[in-house]
Amino acid sequence: MSGYGPPDRFNEEKATFAVRGADAPDLEAGVAAIRNVVQTLPLKPGVYRMHDARGDVLYVGKARALKNRVTNYTQVERLPRRLQRMVALTRSMTIVTTNNEAEALLLEAQLIKRYRPAYNVLLRDDKSFPFILLRADHDFPRIQKHRGARRAKGDYYGPFASAGSVNTTLNALQKLFLLRSCTDGFFKTRDRPCLLFQIKRCSAPCVGRIDAAGYAELVADAKRFLSGKATDVQAKLGAQMTAAAEAMDFELAAVLRDRLKALTFIQGSQFINAEGVGDADIFALARHEGVIGIQAFFIRGGQNWGHRSFFPAHTTDVPEEEVLQQFLMQFYEEVPPARCVLVDRALPEAALLAEALSAPAGRKIAIEVPQRGTRRRLIDQARRNAEEALERRLAESTTQAKLNREVADLFELAEPPQRIEIYDNSHIQGTNALGAMVVAGPEGFRKGQYRKFNIRSKDTIPGDDFGMMREVLTRRFARALEEDPDRDGDTWPDLVLIDGGRGQLNAARAVLEELGIEDICMVGVAKGPHHGREGREVFHLMDGRELTLPVNAPVLFYLQRLRDEAHRFAIGAHRQKRAKAIGASPLDEVPGIGPARKKALLMHFGTARAVRDASLADLQKAPGVSATVAQQVYDFYHAK
């Protein structure tokens, strides 16, 4: 799913102002930089970005009148400590004017998502939401799960809170409406029904078991159901089942009965009673011990399509209603809003937010704080869920913090590690070799920062685990030195775990010594003398010591989990690479040969070897192959 367009769509006036020579936090220098900007600012709506001495974005804000808003930052005695620290770091600003405040609000959300500034409230969950897509580009439309940009022609239903919720619904919908889920390519090549037809989850339009009119009726019923008209669909199926039974067509009656059961299952799985609500997104906020949790429910056509918890970052000293407003603006950068957004408290700029959401959605969006009835009951339920999710989060954080302290004590780190990197290699007798890096932090695995390293150096001998580790770590830390030599960001690890014993650790340590890096703790995790026995791991330290832990130690389970995650990721990446290699063809190396021409050559000659051995005249006879392409293929294989 894309956002609402790049900043270029606004009428922009950009200017950057800087005060040079002050790298350290300096309140007077920061105020002076802002005052220089204020002198040239218009009384127009727009967005401003504050930068530090390196040019990194500290904060993104919007304003109805830029001059008035930015002037407030020069009155530091009125600012909270958080903003005072921000002003002290500010050395330059970038200004963008917009046509109105609603456009400024949209642009602010886009820039916060792009730059992720340290002083803005941030939506940390970057996972896209799944939808159900009923395609409209085929005579027999396909129903499928969809993530990402909504480019395909068809009807989208969602968002669903998780892949699990959409898979459960999609599975039931296949039983209920018997719509095909196969790809168009699979559809075209069938000459007999597939297994889904046998288990009554598809009507087999691929082989003519249902005609276009009958399938169109199923599609229409599915659209009615997904639009909230489940009662109409239920009544129709009930009437059809009764008619089939009266006509003694018990086989058809049994099929209709099973479809009614699937409908009942979907309705029964929606434990939230949202009858009469229509389309609504419901948000409630809870705060405890300085941490904020937000619970979201997604209601479409009166049906519950799941809920999800969010824990925004950088919320210290920020009022709760402002946190919720900032969260909603960033949340709807990725997700199309429902017609009604229900919140548990009044927002500072609810009318402006509704206006900003309505423009890209192409319809009016209402933001309401319900006081009674079903909607109030849903808000109360969302609040209870928010409080419970926050309690679980805090309990997990407490446990994780304790484990991090134990890791620090075990490996003699000065502080609990904020970033742990775990490395593993995977190959089969040296083929399709790659290295993998997994990242973990105080809040768990950071999957968006996992990395794969294809082993490509000619100096690395196939199957040499030590050489592979050297190549992976050399590339990783050489790039870190190039991109962040001062370690101002959060991309440098406090602890590196190597899946392997003393040999792998020595290879890794040699890399750091060559690069001049001396202060990163590295530990080798070996399986010990009894390979395969959990709990007998040996931890090899850089000073030559070896540690073992009690088999029931929680910190041991944690370190095993880190090692196993790296192993899982490496194996998965290796399998993908191997599968891709199996599907490769020697013709892929021929310049100017794309998938269509490769297929044409293989269909005509049978094998890649036959293509290689063919004469120029034979190549020119292949359908879909021009004389120029034939010459290119011939020259590739016969050039001296």
Q: Residue 448 maps to which CATH number?
A: 3.30.420.340
With beta carbons less than 8 A apart as the criterion, state whether 333 and 113 touch.
Answer: yes
pLDDT at 431: 66
Please name the residues in contact with 486: beta carbons below 8 A apart, sequence gap of 6 or more.
none
What is the span of the domain harbouring residue 373? 280-391
C-alpha span between 27 and 99 (Å, rounded): 33
What is the average pLDDT across 321-325? 93
Give the confidence band of 11 by pLDDT, cuts at 50, 70, 90.
Answer: very low
pLDDT at 61: 94
Examine the pLDDT at 614 and tell me if it is beyond 90. Answer: no
Q: Point out the least confidently predicted range of 35-49, 274-288, 363-377, 518-532.
A: 518-532
Q: How many residues does the chain have?
A: 640
C-alpha span between 83 and 123 (Å, rounded): 19
Domain count, the chain: 5
- Does residue 121 sit within a domain? no
- Does residue 366 sit within a domain? yes
C-alpha span between 63 and 96 (Å, rounded): 10
Say yes or no: 153 and 196 in one domain.
yes
Of 570 and 488, more confident? 570
- Does residue 275 sit within a domain? no
The first and second tokens of residue 165, run together, are 């919720």
Max mean pLDDT range (6-10, 484-488, 491-495, 568-572)? 491-495
What is the average pLDDT across 509-513? 89
Say yes or no: 426 and 571 in one domain.
yes
Say yes or no: 369 and 485 in one domain.
no
DSSP 3-state of 527: coil
pLDDT at 632: 81
- Does residue 412 sit within a domain? no
Q: Point out the least confidently predicted range of 149-153, 289-293, 473-477, 572-576.
A: 572-576
pLDDT at 20: 37
Q: b/e map of 106-123 (b: 16 or more CB within 10 Å)?
A: bbbbbbbbebbbbbbbbb
What is the average pLDDT across 172-185? 84
- The mean pLDDT value of the chain amounts to 82
CATH number reported for the structural domain that contains residue 36 in this entry: 3.40.1440.10
User: CA-CA distances (angstroms) from residue 454 to 50, 196, 244, 425?
Assistant: 39, 38, 61, 10
Say yes or no: 164 and 309 in one domain.
no
Please name the residues in contact with 619: beta carbons below 8 A apart, sequence gap of 6 or more.
601, 611, 625, 630, 633, 634
Say yes or no: 512 and 619 in one domain.
no
Give the confidence band of 25 by pLDDT, cuts at 50, 70, 90.
Answer: low
Examine the pLDDT at 434 and tell me if it is beyond 70. Answer: yes
CATH number reported for the structural domain that contains residue 597 in this entry: 1.10.150.20
Say yes or no: 574 and 613 in one domain.
no
Strand 495-499, strand 46-51: pairing: unpaired
Give the confidence band of 129 by pLDDT, cuts at 50, 70, 90.
Answer: confident
pLDDT at 18: 40
Say yes or no: 259 and 297 in one domain.
no
Q: Per residue in 35-94, pLDDT tens?
A: 999 988 989 999 999 999 888 899 999 999 999 999 999 998 888 888 999 999 999 999
The first and second tokens of residue 529, run together, are 């003398």
pLDDT at 592: 66
pLDDT at 126: 56
Say yes or no: 219 and 334 in one domain.
no
Say yes or no: 161 and 301 in one domain.
no
User: CA-CA distances (angstroms) from residue 468 to 214, 398, 455, 572?
Assistant: 59, 37, 7, 17
- Does residue 400 sit within a domain? no
Q: Per residue in 399-433, pLDDT tens?
A: 888 899 999 999 988 889 999 999 988 766 656 67
Examine the pLDDT at 23 and tell me if it is beyond 70. Answer: no
pLDDT at 427: 65
Say yes or no: 592 and 558 in one domain.
no
Closest CA to 375 of 291, 494, 232, 277: 277
Examine the pLDDT at 383 and tell me if it is beyond 90. Answer: yes
Examine the pLDDT at 574 and tell me if it is beyond 50. Answer: yes
pLDDT at 91: 93
Cis peptide before 591 (omega within 30 of 0): no
pLDDT at 14: 39
Examine the pLDDT at 624 and tell me if it is beyond 80. Answer: no
pLDDT at 352: 92
Say yes or no: 536 and 429 in one domain.
yes
pLDDT at 577: 64
- Does residue 405 sit within a domain? no
With beta carbons less than 8 A apart as the criterion, state whether 472 and 435 touch.
Answer: yes
Last residue of a domain, one of 69, 88, 115: 115
Say yes or no: 465 and 525 in one domain.
yes
- Does residue 428 sit within a domain? yes
- Does residue 414 sit within a domain? no
Closest CA to 493 of 526, 521, 453, 452: 521
Examine the pLDDT at 579 and tell me if it is beyond 70. Answer: no
Give the confidence band of 5 by pLDDT, cuts at 50, 70, 90.
Answer: very low
